[in-house]
């Protein structure tokens, strides 16, 4: 629609140019006619150069029109590449095979009828997975990331059924029936009234797969109860059964964000049936989904929910979190002489965001980064250092201090951002200890040398480990789910905290993201055939930082990465937090078949059972969308 309007605008400008020229000619025809005739007579007698000028004078109106068209076409091209997709369109007009292939659609409808007494779905929601091309573990530190939605997804088939009388009385109102195509995941029936009253804290210990859908339910209930101007939600819950079949082709624990896809799809379908999508943008819904995932104890930075909601076909996304959540479409560069594809390979080691102790890995890294930010801020003697929450806060406050007339450090050029990040890398190396910190060392550094004059009672209190940990959480870890539990187990098991290494990864990875985006934008102008080599170099450096500075790789994942590089991938890095899961590689199209055969022979052949989609090519896909039964019924009959 937008591009049709732009084309109409081009035609309008051309017409203006023609009309303007015609009017100008009519008003000055007598004087200009004589002048032009004289000039033309003179020019005809001159050399070839003057003949060209003569022709130019006769056709000057045509050249002006051509110039107008050229300028507007340039504007159209820039708009096509960089303008944002309409942020509000969730219900798609029509259905395409890119959303879901016909065979799978037929299977979904058949399974839905089998699960729900022969009924048919009224609409479906498609929620894609994602891969992060570059920018690992920096979203929760305030830095931009570079993901894309992929063509693997979770589909939700949905129908509504009105209940009254004895049925409603027996069920105590409406219910939510949730089923999964995978038999390993048990079906569950949830009562709406019980969901409304549910203790949110219970989700932290819930083990059933439905906890992500339940988290979506309580999140939607909370926001709708605040927005609703009437009792429509209460009436819906009292009189409506909701039947949902989940049909996913995203491997669980593969690091492709199946949890975010499950939450985002659930949130959208619930908002849709409650008629609450109006006035909500995709970004608004992404923020709601972030809060929902925190109900299950994951201190998400927001990358997964943002790309799942706002993904766009053929475009990666530059997702920013400061000063607010924002996304920008970026066209990935392609080499003319050596085109490439992205290939996702599953290490078959399910990625673990927590270990057996329930503390290390993901949430542990979040806390390490938060503490690194506070310790670094104090070492830099920043004003109000104790209120710093992220490593991005440190950057903003440090460099804002040098710009008295500037209220923020957000609207800066790529060059300035790179300069600031490079400076912070040196400061981390000089001010943070390369040796592991103990919890006691951190507490001593943050509490013993502050500007407060602690009295004797305070000093006695500091000797109590439990009270110290509580003070640490209250002052510096506010807002982080399960922070108290993690801190307690850090002390119990005497875990060492590598603050310098975590900060070095965050700042260097943020720098690589800026460089990667700059590379994409420059290539659109220069068409540099070395672009694949430059992209690959940044992605490979990203992986090494994840492995060495952030310690989030895994033995089986490293083995797979080495096989991929040996098989012809120019780049290969972990994606999706790490600790198992998948790698993403860049493979030139002319080497793709050889690459697949090599990985199959030297990696997957060693396993007795391998999923069919353990290795697949992908390209940027659309974010969450809704399509109605009538849009695809004719394709599956």
Q: Answer with the one of 52, 82, 112 that is the final residue of a domain.
A: 82
Total tally of structural domains belonging to the chain: 4
User: Do 271 and 379 sit in the same domain of this protein?
Assistant: no
**Domain match, 276 and 186 both:** yes
All residues at 6 or more sequence positions from 558 whose CB lies less than 8 Å from its CB, including other chains? 547
Q: What is the DSSP letter of 497?
A: B
Kindly report the CATH number assigned to the domain that includes residue 443: 1.20.1440
Do 341 and 366 reside in the same domain of the chain?
no
Does residue 267 carry a pLDDT above 50? yes
Assess contact for 163 and 631: CB atoms under 8 A.
no
Determine whether 222 is an active site residue: no
Let me know if residue 228 belongs to a domain.
yes
Residue 593 lies inside a defined structural domain of this protein: yes
> Per DSSP, what are the bridge partners of residue 574?
583
- Domain assignment of residue 349, yes or no: yes
pLDDT for the residue numbered 358: 52
pLDDT tens readout for residues 309-361 = 999 999 999 999 988 899 999 999 888 788 899 999 999 998 776 665 555 57
Looking at residue 528, what is its pLDDT?
67
Decide if 149 contacts 306 (C-beta within 8 A). Answer: no
Q: Tokens 């599953």: give the residue.
A: 346
Same domain membership, residue 344 and residue 255: no
Round to whole Å and give the CA distance between 161 and 121: 11
pLDDT at site 170: 79
Q: Is pLDDT at 54 greater than 50 in this prediction?
A: no
Residues 460 and 490 in one domain: yes
Report whether 499 contacts 375 (CB < 8 A): yes
299 and 340 in a single domain? The answer is no
The answer, yes or no, to whether residue 558 has pLDDT greater than 80, is yes
Catalytic residue, from 241, 304, 329, 622: name it.
Answer: 304
> Among 501, 528, 543, where does a domain finish?
501
Q: Is residue 510 part of a domain?
A: no
pLDDT at 92 over 80: no
Cis check for the bond before 323: say yes or no (omega within 30 of 0).
Answer: yes
Reported as type and span, the H/E element at residue 584 is: strand 582-588
- Pair 425, 402 in one domain: yes
The mean pLDDT of 84-92, rounded to a whole number, is 55
Give domain status of residue 532, yes or no: no
- Assign 575 a pLDDT band (cuts: 50, 70, 90): very high
Residue 533 lies in a domain: no
Q: Which domain holds residue 50?
A: 2-82
Q: Would residue 150 count as lying in a domain?
A: yes
Which residues have CB under 8 Å from 546's CB, separation 6+?
136, 137, 505, 552, 553, 573, 574, 578
DSSP string for 432-443: S-SSPBPHHHHH
pLDDT the model gives residue 2: 46
Alpha carbon distance 327, 517 (integer Å): 13
Nearest residue to 83 via CA among 321, 329, 307: 329
Residue 501: pLDDT band by 50, 70, 90 thresholds? very high
What φ, ψ does residue 554 adopt, rounded to 5°? -155, 155
324 and 431 fall within a common domain: no
Sign of the torsion angle spanned by Cα atoms 379, 382, 384, 385: negative
The rounded percent of the chain whose pLDDT value lies above 70 is 76
Do 566 and 449 reside in the same domain of the chain? Answer: no
Average pLDDT in the chain: 82
- When pLDDT is averaged across residues 418-444 and rounded to a whole number, the result is 95
Same domain, residue pair 457 and 387:
yes
pLDDT digits (tens, 9 = 90+) for 93-112: 554 555 567 888 889 999 99
> Dihedral, CA atoms, 157, 162, 168, 172, nearest 10 degrees?
50
How many angstroms separate the CA atoms of 360 and 181, rounded? 32
441 within 8 A of 495, measured Cβ to Cβ? no
Q: Which residue has the tokens 């032009």?
A: 36
Residue 272 located in a structural domain = yes
Q: Which domain CATH number covers 271?
A: 3.30.230.10
The token pair at 71 is 């300028």
- pLDDT at position 100: 66
In Å, what is the CA distance from 373 to each residue of 322, 421, 446? 16, 14, 12
Question: What is the CA 206 to chain-centroid distance, rounded?
Answer: 26
Domain co-membership, 55 together with 135: no
Contacts of 121 (CB under 8 A, 6+ apart): 108, 109, 112, 157, 158, 159, 245, 629
Q: In what order do the strands lie in the sheet with 625-628?
A: 188-191, 175-180, 240-248, 146-162, 123-134, 625-628
Q: Are strands 625-628 and 315-320 parallel, antiparallel or unpaired?
A: unpaired
* Residue indicated by tokens 């608004």: 284
Compute the distance between CA of residue 501 and CA of residue 245 in angstroms, rounded to an integer: 44
User: What average pLDDT does range 1-14 have in this prediction?
Assistant: 49
More confident residue, 135 or 77: 135
Tell me what percent of the residues of the chain surpass a pLDDT of 90.
50
Cα 575 from chain centroid (whole Å): 12
Cβ 425 vs Cβ 395: under 8 Å:
no
Residue where one domain finishes, among candidates 49, 82, 115:
82
| Cβ-contact 246, 229 below 8 angstroms | no
Q: Do both 33 and 151 map to the same domain?
A: no
């Amino acid at each position: 629609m937008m591009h049709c309007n732009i084309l109409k605008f081009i035609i309008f400008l051309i017409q203006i140019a023609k009309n303007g020229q015609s009017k100008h000619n009519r008003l000055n025809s007598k004087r200009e006619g004589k002048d032009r005739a004289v000039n033309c007579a003179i020019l005809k007698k001159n050399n070839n150069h003057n003949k060209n000028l003569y022709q130019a004078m006769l056709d000057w109106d045509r050249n002006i029109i051509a110039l107008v068209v050229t300028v507007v076409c340039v504007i159209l091209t820039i708009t096509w590449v960089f303008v944002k997709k309409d942020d509000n369109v969730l219900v798609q007009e029509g259905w395409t095979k890119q959303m879901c292939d016909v065979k799978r659609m037929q299977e979904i409808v058949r399974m839905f009828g089998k699960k729900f007494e022969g009924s048919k779905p009224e609409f479906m929601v498609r929620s894609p997975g994602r891969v992060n091309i570059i920018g690992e573990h920096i979203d929760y530190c305030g830095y931009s990331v570079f993901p894309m939605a992929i063509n693997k997804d979770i589909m939700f088939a949905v129908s509504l059924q009105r209940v009254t009388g004895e049925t409603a009385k027996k069920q105590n109102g409406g219910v939510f029936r949730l089923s999964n195509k995978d038999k390993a995941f048990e079906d569950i029936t949830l009562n709406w009234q019980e969901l409304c009253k549910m203790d949110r804290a219970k989700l932290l210990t819930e083990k059933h797969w439905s906890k992500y859908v339940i988290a979506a339910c309580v999140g939607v209930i909370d926001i709708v109860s605040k927005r609703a101007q009437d009792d429509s939600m209460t009436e819906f819950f009292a009189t409506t059964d909701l039947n949902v079949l989940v049909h996913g082709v995203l491997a669980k624990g593969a690091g492709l964000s199946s949890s975010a896809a499950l939450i985002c799809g659930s949130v959208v379908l619930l908002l849709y049936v409650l008629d609450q999508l109006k006035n909500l943008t995709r970004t608004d819904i992404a923020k709601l989904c972030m809060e929902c995932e925190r109900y299950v104890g994951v201190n998400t930075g927001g990358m997964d929910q943002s790309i799942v909601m706002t993904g766009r076909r053929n475009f990666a996304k530059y997702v920013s979190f400061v000063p607010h959540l924002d996304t920008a479409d970026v066209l990935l560069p392609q080499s003319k002489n050596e085109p490439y594809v992205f290939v996702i390979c599953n290490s078959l080691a399910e990625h673990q965001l927590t270990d057996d102790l329930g503390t290390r890995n993901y949430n542990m890294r979040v806390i390490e980064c938060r503490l690194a930010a506070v310790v670094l801020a104090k070492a830099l003697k920043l004003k109000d250092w104790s209120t710093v929450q992220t490593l991005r806060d440190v950057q903003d406050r440090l460099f804002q201090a040098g710009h008295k007339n500037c209220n923020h450090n957000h609207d800066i050029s790529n060059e300035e951002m790179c300069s600031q990040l490079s400076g912070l890398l040196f400061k981390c190396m000089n001010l943070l200890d390369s040796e592991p910190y103990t919890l006691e060392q951190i507490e001593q550094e943050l509490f013993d040398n502050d500007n407060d004059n602690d009295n004797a009672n305070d000093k006695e209190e500091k000797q109590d480990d439990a009270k110290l940990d509580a003070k640490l959480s209250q002052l510096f870890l506010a807002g982080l789910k399960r922070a108290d539990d993690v801190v307690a187990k850090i002390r119990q098991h005497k875990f060492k905290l590598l603050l310098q290494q975590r900060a070095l990864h965050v700042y260097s990875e943020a720098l690589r993201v800026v460089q990667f985006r700059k590379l994409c934008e420059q290539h659109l102008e220069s068409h540099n055939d070395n672009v694949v080599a430059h992209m690959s170099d940044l992605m490979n450096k990203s992986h090494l930082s994840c492995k060495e500075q952030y310690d989030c790789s895994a033995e089986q994942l490293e083995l797979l990465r080495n096989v991929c590089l040996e098989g012809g991938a120019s780049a290969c890095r972990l994606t999706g937090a790490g600790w198992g899961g998948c790698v993403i590689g860049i493979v030139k199209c002319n080497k793709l078949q050889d690459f697949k055969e090599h990985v199959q022979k030297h990696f997957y052949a060693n396993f007795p059972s391998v999923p069919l989609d353990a290795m697949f090519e992908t390209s940027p896909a659309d974010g969450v969308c809704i399509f109605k039964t009538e849009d695809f019924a004719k394709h599956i009959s």
